[in-house]
Amino acid sequence: MLSLRCIAGFLFFFQAYDKLFRIGTNNVVQQFQPSMPSVPGSVLYIGILLSGITELAGGVLLLAGLWTPYAVVLLLLNLTAVAISFSVIRPMWDMQYYFPRLAIIVAIALLPAEWDVYSLGSLLIK
């Protein structure tokens, strides 16, 4: 469970870090705007910003092992929004970056919480 949480946590954290800090939200909006001309730029900006914040917070929570079930639900909702967004842009989009995240998060969601013994959450409960 620790390995799954750390892998997913790093994937989401660095995805968000790039989106929010390295590339910048405005540049991400500029990349998506031509593909979604009917969506106002401000709506796109808010969606990308919320997605980045969710990924950043979810990644940190998974790495720490705090409130893991809540982090998993938030990240699954985020992945659902990402799937819908990319499907609007291009129906047959490449899932090479999306699917590993989805598989790991679903595995974490389905595995018993008792298996997550190496986490801050399990230390705080005892």
pLDDT digits 0-9 by tens, 28-48 = 999 989 988 888 999 999 999
Range of the domain at 58: 2-113
Provide the domain count of the chain.
1
Confidence of residue 126 (pLDDT cuts 50, 70, 90): low
Q: Does the residue 10 lie in any domain?
A: yes
CA angle 112, 116, 120 (to 5 degrees): 140
**Rounded Cα distance, 24 and 22, in Å:** 6
* Top-confidence residue, 56 or 91: 56
CB 41 within 8 A of CB 29: yes
- The model carries a pTM of 0.90
Q: Does the residue 42 lie in any domain?
A: yes
Q: Closest Cα to residue 121, out of 56, 72, 85, 80?
A: 72
